Structure 1
């Protein structure tokens, strides 16, 4: 970490105005290999909303074990298709009428892009925009709700209404019988396993692990039954499940043929709280010290890039370097400025950089136009490798790619 900061300080005069996005390429490649190992031979479909950088997508797709993209929106999928990417699965249902018209105008794009559906109303919307006779057949992925239900309690994301195997089968039959649609795949994303950290010894952590054990026991036979039921109607090209936090569990399900992953590539702050993940922080942002209100407090410009989700301290950025700094309780992370206190403040001057880790992965790229890419460059004067800036990679924001 200190090496990253030293490289940035040495080059700061030529980097433009901060804040900077920083990518540790060696750590990213290490994380990519770790996720492949956890997948146990099953291909990983890259969740682009967790990456939001074309150069990183290209880096991953060149690694054996990564195949296909899981996009956030149809508009994003169409943009990526126009750049030459193929095997695109849109992870959420779409109501984007302009994007639907653009998709229908390109028969080759219709063959490369799979849309997500879980209700008849979604099919009706597409038909209202594009009558079946006026468009190519659209590829449909059907989503099974993989959440845990205990009586009236729902644990997991509020996604598909299709929970029971027979519900998925009946919907598959309705899609197959409907002109203009062809069911080709199944998704079952277990958010309560992939997206909830399980580390620590607190009562919460023990409760999460108990919940996840119960969820795995419930989901494994239900997902298997749902896939078998759907096969009565069509033969899925793929069955998608999982996420970074559940790769090794999802890989053990014989009915899942591919696993979605993205966040673990950057290993943001939340992923320091997961067990069973040997990941290295790969993405940071750096903000300058602009004030010294007290000897033990420095104030950096901005830096308060809070992550989406249930509000809490786990959604705050993590102060990565220098160590020994923490938020001032009655101010925390701010949009305009963020005071930090601790012994390390004494060693920071005006203009020095503080490195942060965003709590979540792709959201960082909505704040920065590019990553400053740092990699190992052979042996240095000490025992470790010499680190250097090797490139600057534009993010989606830097290239004008809008997800929403």
Structure 2
């Protein structure tokens, strides 16, 4: 992992008053290039949930190896499909989760451009009923994607390893829903999605727990083998009913293995671009922390302690230490076991605390990627810019090169 110094960020943001959030563009680009390399030519669909900033979604789509957006709600997808001052972000937006928003479905169906651009997720005939009831006469057939269950169930449903997503598990079940779609003239089957959360989103090398890591890698290897066979069979069964434009699978943590499957035509990923704390402990790759937030030190309650303002930004998912933001710079800071990161203050302990004065900054990382953007209205983009001297490289310095709004900064809160 890159050892970018605290001085690098302090220098670039000296004119800003914390708390604030930044994205290191050099790290962002390096992560994007490494993710594309691991995908080995399989296109990567950008997961907007992991970025939540239109400027950076566009920046990712402008890089080699990236095409299309994976949105997390239909209202978000409709917003992203709307022209802005720079033109539409993409003409290919997949909504990764089923929607029950009938008003948004009606808006989608009323506009030919959005109906051609956006694909809805389904895994039940009830979804088909809801869509057709909300949009009985669409301007263009509404595109849908079949989501299938990817969990590993070595002992059957009694032992499930993976996310609770789709009820569709077998080729026959997927083909039956495909037939139900083709029998509805207002719908068009567009793709298949099979996201292996237990592989793509679970780090397999937890520090200090070698036996746990070995068990995780064993489980993931067997899950990967089972899924590759089942995913290929599902794709064959669905394509026997109707052709599909794409088959989406994988994520940041599995791009290098999912891309080997001939049945998969694209990978959905985004977290690896920011490299949040939960993605530090994968054995197959090492990302560079790109998204950080700065907190000001406002108290020195005693030797070995420094207290920062705010910082209580837990991630979604199971409650526990892994969901907490991670102190990043200066290195060697830890939470108080009785307070943790708080809404108004975060006491930090460690030898590094004695080198912090009131007014200094502590740099933190969120456990997850895009959720950081729900806490800040804007992101300050840092890059290294050549100086004005004769030797531009020698005079290069980190600077804030742009400040861009997050979704929240644009007044959008989709979930």
Scaled to the shorter chain, the TM-score interval is over 0.9
Aligned to 2:143: 139
Match for residue 279 of structure 2 among 271, 284, 290: 271
Match of 2:312 in 1: 304
* Alpha-carbon distance between aligned partners in 2 of 1:135 and 1:385, rounded to the nearest angstrom: 53
Pick closer, same or farther for the CA change 1:52–1:5 going to 2, 3 Å. Answer: farther
Which residue of 85, 100, 104 corresponds with 1:99? 104
1:155 paired with 2:158, answer: no
Whole-angstrom CA distance in 1 between matches of 2:242 and 2:248:
16
Q: 1:269 to 1:136 in 2, by over 3 A?
A: same
C-alpha distance in 1, partners of 2:321/2:167?
A: 31
**Matching of residues 368-379 of structure 1 within 5 Å:** 368-378=376-386
Choose 43-52 or 3-12, whichever is displaced more. Answer: 3-12
| Structure 2 equivalent of residue 41 of structure 1 | 41
Describe the shift of the 1:10–1:21 C-alpha distance in structure 2 as closer, same or farther (beyond 3 A). closer
Name the stretch that deviates more: 195-204 or 393-402: 195-204
Conservation of the 8 A alpha-carbon contact between 2:115 and 2:139 = no
Corresponding residue to 1:321 among 316, 325, 329 = 329
Please show how residues 356-395 of structure 1 align to structure 2 within 5 Å.
356-378=364-386, 385-395=396-406
Q: Please name the residue that 2:230 is paired with.
A: 222
Provide the alpha-carbon RMSD of the alignment. Answer: 1.8
5+ long unaligned stretches in structure 1: none
Structure 1 length as normaliser, TM-score? Answer: 0.95
Displacement over 4 Å in runs of 4+:
1-7, 379-385
Deviation at 1:3, TM superposition (A): 4.4
Output the CA distance in 1 between the equivalents of 2:276 and 2:411: 23
Identify the residue that residue 8 of structure 1 maps to in structure 2: 10
Alignment of 1:5-84 (within 5 A): 5-8=7-10, 11-12=13-14, 14-15=15-16, 17-83=17-83, 84=88
Q: Secondary structure at the match of 1:299?
A: strand
Say which SS state the counterpart of residue 235 (structure 1) adopts.
coil
1-structure distance, mates of 2:149, 2:396: 47
1:197 partnered with 2:203? yes
Matched, 1:90 2:95: yes
For residue 183 of structure 2, the aligned residue among 177, 182, 207 is: 177
CA contact (8 A) 1:284 1:355 kept: yes
Q: TM-score, normalised by structure 2?
A: 0.93
Uncovered stretches (5+) of structure 2, i.e. residues with no partner: none
User: Are 1:164 and 2:177 matched, yes or no?
Assistant: no
